Amino acid sequence: MIDLPPLEGRWRELTGRAVFRLTGGDRVRYLNGQVTNDVAKVSPALSLPACLCTIKGKVEALVWIHADGESLLVDGEGEQRDALHARLEKYLIADDCEIGDVSGEVRLFHHFSGDSAGGAESRRLGVPGRDLWLPRDAAPPFAREDVISDGEWAVAGLLSALPLPGREIRAEEFPAELGLDAWAVDFHKGCYLGQEIVSRIRSVGRVKRLLRVVVADRPLMVGESVSAPSGESGIITRPSLTDGAGREVSLALFSVPSPASNLPGEMAVPVV
């Protein structure tokens, strides 16, 4: 496995996020019927990732959910702002729940400075970090020299196989195909949109594709076909970036032969 860039004691402001505040007595019950993770587990000390799926169980968006007093904050990719708002409100009928767009009212800092710097536990890069929500006019409470650069954050996102809309999230893949079933799905919670199919895939234990981190000694382009040493073929989903060791890193959706794949589970896959 390729290590992430050094993160301890560092931070990043996650700008341009689409942020929604849910209020009302039915907010937890309503949102629980929409997302794949258990909203009842969120608290001021814990932020949870979850998928919004189609009725066929395919991922439309990846969001994070955080409890803020008597409300819930849901944040996702900024480019999905309108679509997320419409999706969150789509099934709101007689519920005591209101959804407000507060994208311009708050700031979100993800940091690796431990609980002494505040915020809720969150694993946005697959490793322990914390989400700190502040008012829009608040100053960053961290040293400027410790900021994670654009390039470092982008490489870390690739190495943690974090899927993005328009790249890996296209409403065509199941959570299991994107590796999201391992950390953004609760298989013991109540019903939600697409749950039956998501659960069935887990019981069957087989998918047709798998998202994997890939490494190469040359740049990789979107749509390029690559092969793992074990023979599986994949399609690159976004342009590669150069990591700190000079390797080209990207993501690819690999076809999985039936009945099982030789692709490593959470390991980066060298491509040829």
Residue 206 clears pLDDT 80, i.e. is over it: no
- pLDDT score for 265: 47
- Classify residue 25: in a domain, yes or no: yes
pLDDT in tens, 211-222: 999 999 999 999
Strand positions, DSSP E, 150-268: 209-216, 225-227, 233-236, 241-242, 248-255
- Say yes or no: 126 and 247 in one domain: no
Share of the chain above pLDDT 90, in %: 84
Alpha carbon distance 226, 228 (integer Å): 7
- Say yes or no: 96 and 190 in one domain: no
- Say yes or no: 137 and 253 in one domain: no
- Say yes or no: 238 and 131 in one domain: no
pLDDT in tens, 15-74: 999 999 999 999 999 999 999 999 999 999 999 999 999 999 999 999 999 999 999 999
CA-to-CA separations, 241 to 211, 248, 251, 252, in angstroms, rounded:
17, 5, 10, 13
- Classify residue 235: in a domain, yes or no: yes
Range of the domain at 240: 175-270
Burial (CB count within 10 angstroms: exposed 0-12, middle 13-18, buried 19+), residue 197:
middle
Confidence of residue 267 (pLDDT cuts 50, 70, 90): low
CATH number at residue 107: 3.30.1360.120
- Classify residue 150: in a domain, yes or no: no
- Classify residue 152: in a domain, yes or no: no
- Say yes or no: 204 and 116 in one domain: no
- Say yes or no: 136 and 255 in one domain: no
CATH number at residue 236: 2.40.30.160
- pLDDT score for 107: 97
Average pLDDT, the chain: 92
- Classify residue 168: in a domain, yes or no: no
In the chain, count H helices and then E strands.
4, 15
- Which residue among 144, 164, 199 closes a domain? 144
- Say yes or no: 20 and 139 in one domain: yes
- Classify residue 230: in a domain, yes or no: yes
CA-to-CA separations, 232 to 215, 253, 272, in angstroms, rounded:
15, 10, 10
- Classify residue 2: in a domain, yes or no: no
- Classify residue 55: in a domain, yes or no: yes
